Amino acid sequence: MPLAFYAEHLGLEPGARPPFAFPGAWLYARGGSEAILHVIAGRQRAELVKGAIDHMAFSATGLVEAVDRLKLQGRSYELRKLPGYGTWQLFFLDPNGAKVELDFDPAEPGPAA
């Protein structure tokens, strides 16, 4: 299960989860009391079926550091500024191919070109 990915890139940590009959994890923001992402394990990637959701989005801080982590790991990403708002949007894929969006305040400096 790619829990280290979610800790490193999203700052999420595993926490309390009911004793389901299948493996998985409930992930919490550091110091948070509500699970914000449920991850199910025990299935081969070929068995996973895309649903109606296009991607998951989170507010974040530390744009330059986030881009540096992705570059260091050789992960593909797309970075853009939201027209009319200026919000930085950073898109990349999790280990199962699900699209992740991190939104950063427009006042954050962008990475060096």
pLDDT tens, 43-83? 776 776 767 677 899 999 999 999 999 999 999 999 999 99
Work out how many domains the chain is built from and give that number: 2
Residue 35 shares a structural domain with residue 76:
no
pLDDT tens, 9-44? 999 999 999 998 889 899 999 888 999 988 888 777
Residue 61 shares a structural domain with residue 113:
yes
Owning domain of residue 8: 1-42
pTM of the model: 0.80
CB 55 within 8 A of CB 100: yes
SS3 for 53-110 is: CCEEEEECCCHHHHHHHHHHCCCCCEEEECCCCCCEEEEEECCCCCEEEEEECCCCCC
Query: For residue 86, is it within any domain?
Result: yes
Query: For residue 7, is it within any domain?
Result: yes
CATH number, position 68: 3.10.180.10
For residue 52, the model assigns a pLDDT of 65
Query: For residue 49, is it within any domain?
Result: no
Residue 8 shares a structural domain with residue 62:
no
